[in-house]
Chain A
């Protein structure tokens, strides 16, 4: 039981990170109907920028008060990663709007390769370890088995991740539901041409969608860096595919769906490694992707897609 609760906590933490990335996939898919394959690498870019800002602040400028440092890292990383997201859209996707359907997907794959190799060349291929910054936590449960006592711990790091995710999720749901930008996004999602006729700046709306997705991916990147403490140029690939799985599982195009899917994928991965084999945890995630797409193509919370001729 204690083991189960601990895994549940770990799963929710991991799932929050996946959920944050998945929102970027789901928003872009909702609005222009393409898989932004490079989004996982935007997450990786976010993690690298976070690391650089963190090191700049702590070891070069000598800031020591951790909450302020982390807040500055978060804001700077969000800003700079957004710039990356915006540029990727501008260079690789906008010129191809209205081209045949596979074209943007192929540039997205190209962009993903470019980002990975750019980071590999400029930052080196070796992993970057960052010692844990936030230590400690609270004990939730305690139990004893034959093997000894098991302590279920909820670390401060995990609390921060879950709370931040909740706050951001609420903020984004409100943004989509209440603001004029959100309205424009929903309008573009339904009918781009009509939205343009009614005075919505479609290009700007799409750009902002990419910017928002990238900002959330930057948050996820920072969380990943702080939680695992190890990043390299390749983390975006696996995290990207899993987050995409999460978006599909929750129903692509749906914001709460992305979060739900993220949590489910995180839980599945953690429980699979906890109770079966660690080696095949990625196989589990990938198989779920295939199974969901085959049997439940519109996901848990998605609307079934109507094919227009």
Chain B
């Protein structure tokens, strides 16, 4: 589209950094120049190497399978699967070589240009797009009820799930995307929120609306407690410590049987009420009060609006905070910590506020999760959950609010859709369960997006503080090492 020749160079090249003398994988120089024949030969050789490596790697995993059999373990061969996997790698690598890595005009370029074109050329349109999305989110339950009356409950449930992840993504985005602190234990705050509400309701008969602010506060409090000692650590140390903290919380919840009921979890968590009106069939329930016919779907719609409101609050608070000095300090911290310190920003307090505010929204989402499920157990708060939320933030582009929405809908919604595709089981056999592949796809997407576009899909960022005129920071500039 709008790609000039310089654009070709910039986005076709992998971030090479200071390794100028060693060409990166995707950019091996073809020895005989751009001649067509040698290029094809080179691609073929490269694809053969890749296929060989795939064969070696897959031999003990795809080619063989150990299973529990009567009288010990049994090993079975699956040579067809192994050969198919080698062929797939060969074909895929060859296609990539021919059309992307060694092509004169990579096909990904057009895609990249289109993606950046959306953000760059039409700020007005994107504004309208956001408003449209908002209106769509507002009318979504009624839309689903009229269009899919038979599956309304399932779809609204899915919408609630996606909304929960959007909210978690936005909450984590404050910590990871804005302040640049990699938090691998975000689910701990989610758990603190969920358990705060569950325990408050169990021991003190708190309702959802009374417990919600307390759950948020408690989560923020834990964020401060954890953050205070560890926030002066370097980025990757911080990641590991937060991960350890997330696991500690889970292990304590699992083993503190007297208080949290251990692995059995807590059940009978109250449902939210609307100004005291319960969503039940009773005389003073919601339906009776408004003279409607009782339908269980009302409660789901109500839940949807609660999480929508919570998510929107998260979003608005984030956008507002970004324009305040504290938000600017966060972004400055993400770009260069040493510069921040030398400019007199109190980095510890700045990090601490980001951590606490992110944790607070995690706590809100957690108590919503508890009331939606009606039952919680430590199993819901494993590391995988943290990784999933992080994947959503990363895929959407660190720091991008709309990116989180896109990534949540694509990942959570896409996986749910996969579950319903019947023809996949016909292709891959009856034992095929696409849900199994969920985390594999998440992981692969994380790696591929990071390698291809290190700042995520929606990767153009606009600095909130500008001198004289606005300038865009493209992903390329960041990838070249300008943003650390």
Chain A residues packing against B (C-beta within 8 Å): 34-35, 48-49, 51-53, 55-56, 59-60, 80, 83-84, 87, 90-92, 94-103, 105-107, 109-114, 116-124, 126, 128-131, 192-193, 196, 201-203, 237, 241, 244-245, 248, 279-280, 282-283, 286-287, 289-290, 293-294, 297, 307, 309
Contacts and interface: CB of A to CB of B under 8 A. Distances in A.
B244 interface: yes
Contacts of A105: 182, 235-236, 239
Nearest to A286: B244
6 contacts: A59-B73, A59-B74, A87-B57, A98-B17, A103-B454, A113-B442
Contact of B440 (A97, A101, A121, A290): A121
**Interface secondary structure of B, over-half rule:** helix
**Interface secondary structure of A, over-half rule:** helix
Contact of A99 (B61, B236, B245, B479): B479
B84 interface: no
A80 B56 contact: yes
B215 to A, nearest CB: 23
Candidate in A91, A117, A123 with the most chain B CB atoms within 10 angstroms: A117
Interface residues of B, number: 74
B21 interface: yes
A121 B81 CA distance: 13
A114 B235 contact: no
B210 to A, nearest CB: 32
Given A114-B440, A279-B254, 18 more contacts: A49-B60, A55-B73, A80-B56, A91-B451, A92-B447, A95-B14, A100-B454, A102-B180, A113-B387, A118-B440, A129-B73, A202-B22, A245-B244, A279-B255, A280-B251, A289-B241, A290-B241, A307-B338
A111 B66 CA distance: 23
A110 B446 contact: yes
Contacts of B67: 124
A307 B21 CA distance: 26
B274 interface: no
Contact of B53 (A87, A241, A309): A87
B402 interface: no
Given A113-B387, A114-B440, A122-B65, A83 B53 contact: yes
Nearest to B386: A109
B17 A80 contact: no
A98 B16 contact: yes
B387 to A, nearest CB: 6
Contacts of A121: 436-437, 440
B240 A107 contact: no
A98 B180 contact: no
B387 A109 contact: yes
A128 B67 CA distance: 7
A108 to B, nearest CB: 9
Nearest to A51: B66
Interface string B398-441: 00000000000000000000000000000000000000110110
A119 B89 CA distance: 18
Nearest to A278: B255
Contacts of A97: 15-17, 19, 24
A282 B57 CA distance: 32
B60 A100 contact: no
Contacts of B236: 34-35, 101-102, 105
Given A83-B57, A293-B233, A100 B478 contact: yes
A124 B57 contact: no
A94 B450 CA distance: 12
Given A105-B235, A110-B443, A110-B444, A95 B24 contact: yes
A131 B454 CA distance: 46
B157 interface: no
Contact of A203 (B19, B57, B245, B480): B19
B469 interface: no
A99 B482 CA distance: 9
Contact of B18 (A98, A101, A107, A119): A98
